[in-house]
Amino acid sequence: MIALHARSIAQQIGNSSAVGAVAGLLERALPVRANSLHVLMYHRVASPSERPDLHPGLLSATPEEFEVQTAFLASSGRVVSLETVLAAQRGEAHLPRGAILITFDDAYLDFGEHAWPLLAARELPVVLFVATAYPDAAERHFWWDRLHVAVDRAASRDAIETPAGTLPLRNREDRVAARRAIGSALEALEHAVALQALDELCVSLEAEAPAPAVLSWSELDRLSREGVTLAPHSRTHPLLGRIALEEAIEEIVGSRDDLAARFGTIPPTIAYPGGSYTDELVAALPTRGFELGLTTRRGRNTIGATDPLRFNRVNVGISSALSLIRTQLLLLRR
């Protein structure tokens, strides 16, 4: 409840014209460092009521909010393509001051339905990171969506056995708390062990699977032809820091190969699932042809100074109203 209340206050502040005016003044007053790049990280654009079977934590914006954000981004004249970022990293191009790269992870259906039409209308370039084991695989679902459905729709009970211990599922607060606790417990486990534990939980709660949630290969093909840049996000979306090195390399290279087999040349860029990687994995990527790696760590990048295989991003969550995004970008300038 406290978190929800704080979110609604943050949204009100973020939407207020006073904060927008202050952000505008600061944008004009504060210097922008040369070669600076912000990478915005989105997941889903949809209204919360649209797909109640999917984990609400992945919502980045409603379509209405995203339209306001795209208007601002287009008017800034600072949005660049991944191709331009790669060229700048190779010393073959210069970025505009205060450059911004827009990225979407996980290739949910609503990217095609809501996000891309708004981006395309303003001719904004975008990168979509695809976990390539999921398109056209009806039986596969992201673990966080399976967990959400299992806990959200389970019959009310006083206690269930979970990977996070014995928890009650009596009301909405219990369910939100249980989903968080179980999610954290699963993330701490080795990937295969976590999936096994989730399978057992789903059986014990008699959970249904979520409906299809990600874009099919034919939809990805259409988006690619319309101008969306597709890039690898692993095959099965494991936390790469929690699996064996060879397996992690195979996940990344396999994902790139899956995309290349369908779409030809793929940008040598990986978004690490869940922001998880190891130093050994990063060290192994250049010889596999990778030039950029995107983490989920919050921050700005400086071309030539930031490790290109550990670029920072700025997450856009449902509470990140436009003015808050602008303020974050400003604070990260320094």
Q: Applying CB under 5 A, which residues contact Zn ion? A: 105-106, 273
CB of 97 to Zn ion, least distance (A): 30
Residue with smaller CB distance to Zn ion, 105 or 152: 105
Which residue of the chain is nearest Zn ion when measured via CB?
105
Residue with smaller CB distance to Zn ion, 23 or 42: 42
CB of 64 to Zn ion, least distance (A): 24
Residue with smaller CB distance to Zn ion, 271 or 321: 271
**What b/e readout covers 120-156, taking b as 16+ CB neighbours within 10 angstroms?**
eeeebbbbbbbbbbbbeeeebbbbbbbbbbbbbebee
Residues 6+ apart with CB under 8 A from 198: 143, 146, 147, 163, 186
Residue with smaller CB distance to Zn ion, 54 or 154: 54
CB of 233 to Zn ion, least distance (A): 6
CB of 271 to Zn ion, least distance (A): 7
CB of 204 to Zn ion, least distance (A): 27
Residue with smaller CB distance to Zn ion, 106 or 251: 106
Distance of CA 186 to the CA centre of its chain: 19
Residue with smaller CB distance to Zn ion, 98 or 273: 273
CB of 57 to Zn ion, least distance (A): 12
